[in-house]
Structures are given as structure tokens and as C-alpha cells.
Amino acid sequence: MTQSFEPQSPTVVLDPEREASLRSVGIVSYVLHAIVAIGAVLPGVQASVLLLVIAVIVDLVKRDEAAGTWQATHFSWRLRSVLWCGILYAITIPLWFLFVLPGWIAWIAISIWFLYRIVRGWLAMNDRRPMPM
């Protein structure tokens, strides 16, 4: 007998109004994340960290409403993206003090990865697909 270790799909079905509301929150959050991510990649276009803080707070406050739905995976996806980027940026700070070029390269790579995760999540949300856990 074999067991399948595939993640189970969300089982909670929301009424259309609540789903639309959560989807709107997701779009706003992805837009805020995207502004910050694009600002991190393009030189001279620095978006405020305040936008990222607002997006994270919105995600933290609203994620319980999406519990058990496909949209819950998007809240987790965005929060994990920010957490990992923050950790990676913090780890690479010493590169800026020791060698400027490697620090710059590391931060650009992290920023591109962050932008990739935001675009990937946004596209999946538009297709109403959950994100991997």
C-alpha cells in the first residue's frame, strides 16, 4: 500500500462576496509588494519600506479570514517571501562593509528573487490557483 504525500487542496468554500473581498486584499497586497520589489531592482527607484510594512500588516490581519481556502496559501506565500528576503538581506549586510560589489550583486539577486515570487504569486492568484506550501 502506497501513500501519497501530495499537499491537500483547501477545502473551505467561501461565498462569492467574501472570496471577492479576500481577492481584493490579495491584489492590493501584491501591488504593494510589487512596488517595493521593483524599487529594489531598479536603481534610483526606491519605494518606501513603509509600503512593505503596510502589506505585511494587511496580510497578517486578513490571513485568518482565508484559513482553509486556496487564498490562504497566497497570504503565507507573501509573508514567507518577505521573511526570507529580510533574512537574506540581513545575512548579506557584511558584504557591503567588506566588499561593495559583492554586496550589491547579492542584494540585486535577492531583489530579483523577491520580484519573481511576487509575480508568480500574483499570476497564480489571478488564475485562482493556490501556491505551494
Which residues are CB-contacts of 48 (< 8 A; sequence separation ≥ 6)? Answer: 36
pLDDT tens-digit map of 61-76? 999 999 988 999 999 9
pLDDT tens-digit map of 106-130? 988 999 999 999 999 999 999 999 9
CA dihedral 61, 65, 70, 75 (to 10 degrees): 0
Question: Exposed, middle or buried: residue 96 (CB in 10 Å: 0-12, 13-18, 19+)?
Answer: middle
Q: Where are the domains of the chain?
A: 16-60+69-126
Cβ neighbour number for residue 127 with a 10 Å cutoff: 7
Q: In this predicted structure, what is the pLDDT of residue 102?
A: 85
pTM for the whole thing? 0.83
- Cα(36)–Cα(85) distance, integer angstroms: 12
